[in-house]
Amino acid sequence: MIELPSRTFVMGTLAFLLCVWLLLFLRLLPISSGFVGWPGPDLTLALVMAWVLRRPDQLSAPVIVLAVMIEDVLLLRPLGLWALIVLLGSEAARRREPRWRDAPFMVEWLRVAILMTGMLLGMRFVQLLFMLPVPALGQVLLQVIATAAAYPLVVFAARWLVGLRRISPAEAL
C-alpha cells in the first residue's frame, strides 16, 4: 500500500519553497542603483545546502529541481544547467550527511564552501564546453566567496525563522 507523506515532510517542503520564492522575489526587485560592484551571494544555493545538511528527510530532489528551475527561467540562465548542478551537489551532500552530522560547524562550513566552489566552477566548465556566454572568472570567484560567507547567516536565519535544526540520530532511522 502507498503511504502518504508525513506532516513534517510536507510542512518542511512548503517552508523551503516559501523561503526560496521569497529570496527569488527579493532578488528580482529593482533596487539596484545601477552600479555593479561585488556580486551578491547565491542565497538559494546556501539555503539548499543548509536544508539538505540539516533536514535531508524534508527536501526531495524534485523539489530542489523545481525551485532552481523556476529560478533559472526568471533569471535567464541556461535552462536546467544550474538546476542539474545544484541537484548533483545537494545529493552529494545528502549522501555524506550522516558522516558530517557530528562535525563542528566550522568543518561543515569549509566542506560546503568547497562543494559550492566545485559546483560554480563546474557550471563555468560546462558553459565553456558548449560555448555559452561565460561571466568573468573574477565575478564567479567573488560570488563563491560571497555565498560561502553568507552560509552561516543563512543557517542562522533558517534556524531562527523556520526552526530548521539538525536531524537527530533517532529521527534519521
- Convert the pLDDT of each residue in 4-55 to its tens digit: 778 888 898 999 999 999 999 988 888 766 666 778 899 999 999 999 999 8
Lowest mean pLDDT among 15-19, 91-95, 168-172: 168-172
Residue 104 has pLDDT above 80, yes or no: yes
pTM, full prediction: 0.91
pLDDT score at 173: 62
Nearest CA among 127, 124, 153 for reference residue 141: 124
The number of folded domains in the chain is: 1
Q: Measured between alpha carbons, how far is residue 50 from residues 55, 94, 158, 167 in Å? A: 8, 10, 8, 12
Q: Does 90 reside within a domain?
A: yes
Say how far residue 124 (Cα) sits from the centre of its chain. 17
pLDDT score at 162: 87
Q: Does 173 reside within a domain?
A: no
Q: Does 151 reside within a domain?
A: yes
Residue 171 has pLDDT above 80, yes or no: no
pLDDT score at 5: 76
Percent of the chain with pLDDT over 70: 94
Q: Does 168 reside within a domain?
A: no
Confidence of residue 100 (pLDDT cuts 50, 70, 90): confident
Percent helix, percent strand, percent coil in the chain, to nearest 5:
70, 0, 30
Q: Does 103 reside within a domain?
A: yes
Nearest CA among 109, 97, 111 for reference residue 171: 97
Grid cell 555524506 in the structure block, residue:
96
Q: Does 113 reside within a domain?
A: yes
pLDDT score at 35: 67
Say how far residue 5 (Cα) sits from the centre of its chain. 23
pLDDT score at 56: 87
Domain that holds residue 44: 11-21+40-163
Lowest mean pLDDT among 28-37, 100-109, 134-143: 28-37
Cell numbers describing residue 30: 529593482
pLDDT score at 46: 96
Q: Does 32 reside within a domain?
A: no
